[in-house]
């Protein structure tokens, strides 16, 4: 057998191993995230705050600012205060803390301000949106589960459609492996999620299908955004904390974008205490 014919075997074996690592990690993390979201309250707020700090630290590692002590202190304290404010049902001070923290990083003049402030804003957005959405006592949990499933559907549908169909690349300069087939496959599976929710009595079919399409598109754009940041700094994975997935940023980039858009829609149609209702009830 020629060397050219034998070469793809190790790559295929590595791809299969990576796939099963992803499946194993998902089977552990997904039920845990849903369980904590179900309990809500301080448990969900603590988890989200810890994850937001992790997102910020990974972002600093990507942009090369992880050793700047002032940036670390300002950023982590900002997210901690923001999380505590939301735990004690004080969204106003939480948003103020995030604003002051981002402003504090922007005021530092001897470090890459644009990237560090963007990272803190990104993590704070994930934190605030996730907790505000869950505060809705009637629709917060179901809205979060809908977002989880749409984001996971976008990822799973994109993975299998992209690998089985292939075809033209979506944005090769940013993410060489993503294809238009994968993007469409992720969208289709997300629409199925929206349809199942509608048929289960969580809302009307057409609005939930439109919502699923918007959130799936947001999730995929969030994924591309994180890929663009990593490519800008020549980084493959944000970390190696999750087997088969890389880091928290690699796993949650789509979720951060989707939950931010979901909260914006919910606020436009509801109130800070009824974001889930504004999102789900049309």
Please tell me which residue, 95 or 1, carries the higher pLDDT value: 95
Q: Report whether 122 contacts 55 (CB < 8 A).
A: yes
3-state secondary structure of 111: coil
pLDDT digits (tens, 9 = 90+) for 204-233: 999 999 999 999 999 999 999 999 999 898
Q: What is the pTM of this model?
A: 0.89
- Per-residue pLDDT band for 109 (boundaries 50, 70, 90) equals low
Q: Report whether 238 contacts 248 (CB < 8 A).
A: yes
3-state secondary structure of 200: coil
pLDDT digits (tens, 9 = 90+) for 27-71: 778 899 999 999 999 999 999 999 999 999 999 999 988 888 999
In the chain, the N- to C-terminal Cα span, in Å, equals: 62
Q: Cα(110)–Cα(198) distance, rounded to whole angstroms?
A: 52
Q: How far are the Cα atoms of 41, 65, 116 from residue 219, in angstroms, in the given order?
A: 25, 26, 22
């Amino acid at each position: 057998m020629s060397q050219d014919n034998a070469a793809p075997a190790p790559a295929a074996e590595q791809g299969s191993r990576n796939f099963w690592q992803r499946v194993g990690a998902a089977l552990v993390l997904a039920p845990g995230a849903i369980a904590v979201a179900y309990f809500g309250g301080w448990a969900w707020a603590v988890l989200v705050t810890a994850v937001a700090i992790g997102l910020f630290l990974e972002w600093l590692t990507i942009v090369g600012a992880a050793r700047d002590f002032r940036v670390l202190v300002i950023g982590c304290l900002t997210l901690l205060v923001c999380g505590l404010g939301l735990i004690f049902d004080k969204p106003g001070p939480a948003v103020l803390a995030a604003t002051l923290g981002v402003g504090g990083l922007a005021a530092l003049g001897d470090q890459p301000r644009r990237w560090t402030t963007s990272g803190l804003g990104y993590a704070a957005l994930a934190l605030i949106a996730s907790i505000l959405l869950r505060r809705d006592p009637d629709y917060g949990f179901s809205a979060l589960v809908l977002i989880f499933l749409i984001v996971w559907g976008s990822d799973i549908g994109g993975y299998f459609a992209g690998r089985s169909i292939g075809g033209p690349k979506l944005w090769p300069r940013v993410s060489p492996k993503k294809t238009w087939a994968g993007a469409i496959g992720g969208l289709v599976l997300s629409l199925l999620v929206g349809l199942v929710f509608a048929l289960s009595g969580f809302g009307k079919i057409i609005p939930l299908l439109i919502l699923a399409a918007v959130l799936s598109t947001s999730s995929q754009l969030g994924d591309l955004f994180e890929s663009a940041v990593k490519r800008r700094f020549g980084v493959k994975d944000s970390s190696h904390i999750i087997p088969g997935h890389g880091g928290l940023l690699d796993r949650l980039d789509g979720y951060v974008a989707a939950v931010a858009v979901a909260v914006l829609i919910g606020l436009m149609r509801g109130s800070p205490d009824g974001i889930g209702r504004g999102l789900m009830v049309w």
